[in-house]
Amino acid sequence: MSGNPRVAVIMGSQSDWKVMRHAVEVLKEFGIPHEARVVSAHRTPDLLYKYAATAADRGLRCIIAGAGGAAHLPGMVAAKTIVPVLGVPVTSRALKGLDSLLSIAQMPRGIPVATFAIGEAGAANAGLFAVALLANGDAKLARRLAAFRRRQTAKVRAMKLPK
Ligand code: RP5
């Protein structure tokens, strides 16, 4: 996507991409300049610190961070920047993402992380939430988001069940 990224999608491992790509797809659909990359809280802590510490100066308006298991990535990124962090609990192998959800949602007071649903729906909703954040100061984007909602509503209203 051309232009300086305004939204970042980061994840703890390449294996998170199958979930996190749903956030990227939303950003692409709305034409939001974005970047996506692997940043691990546990395995690349120095990179994580640098990434978070420079996020505001690079013009990022929010950071979507997905991780699975003991999912520290969103909380640690939020600890190092005041750019809003949207946390996506990635479905884990052992506990199906419940571990990820609790790790991300249960932030102690003082460092907030907005937490979304486990898995693909959460990633897509984090993308939509990022669009909504940007649409706050962008009337054209707000109209596109409203149009998306209208199309979605029309699709559901047209749903037919088998006789
Ligand atoms: C976390 O560990 C990642 O976010 C991923 O969900 C999980 C497993 O990583 P891999 O072993 O697949 O690299 O840090």
pLDDT at 54: 98
Tell me whether residue 163 is in a domain: no
Residue span of the structural domain in which 37 resides: 7-137
**Atom number in ligand 1 closest to CA 42:** 14
Tell me whether residue 150 is in a domain: no
12 Cβ closer than 6 Å to some ligand 1 atom: yes
How many structural domains are present in the chain? 1
pLDDT digits (tens, 9 = 90+) for 55-88: 999 999 999 999 999 999 999 999 999 999 999 9
Q: 43: annotated binding-site residue?
A: yes
pLDDT at 24: 98
Partnered with residue 115 across adjacent β-strands are: 87
Q: What is the distance in A from the centroid of ligand 1 to the CA of 135? A: 32
Tell me whether residue 132 is in a domain: yes
100 Cβ closer than 6 Å to some ligand 1 atom: no
Residue owning the nearest CA to atom 2 of ligand 1: 68
Tell me whether residue 36 is in a domain: yes
pLDDT at 3: 79
Query: In tens digits, what is the pLDDT along the chain, a chain of 163 residues?
Result: 557 999 999 999 999 999 999 999 999 999 999 999 999 999 999 999 999 999 999 999 999 999 999 999 999 999 999 999 999 999 999 999 999 999 999 999 999 999 999 999 999 999 999 999 999 989 999 999 999 999 999 999 999 999 9
Tell me whether residue 151 is in a domain: no
Tell me whether residue 156 is in a domain: no
**CATH number where 24 lies:** 3.40.50.1970
Q: What is the distance in A from the centroid of ligand 1 to the CA of 19? A: 12
15 Cβ closer than 6 Å to some ligand 1 atom: yes
Tell me whether residue 56 is in a domain: yes
Tell me whether residue 103 is in a domain: yes
pLDDT at 109: 98
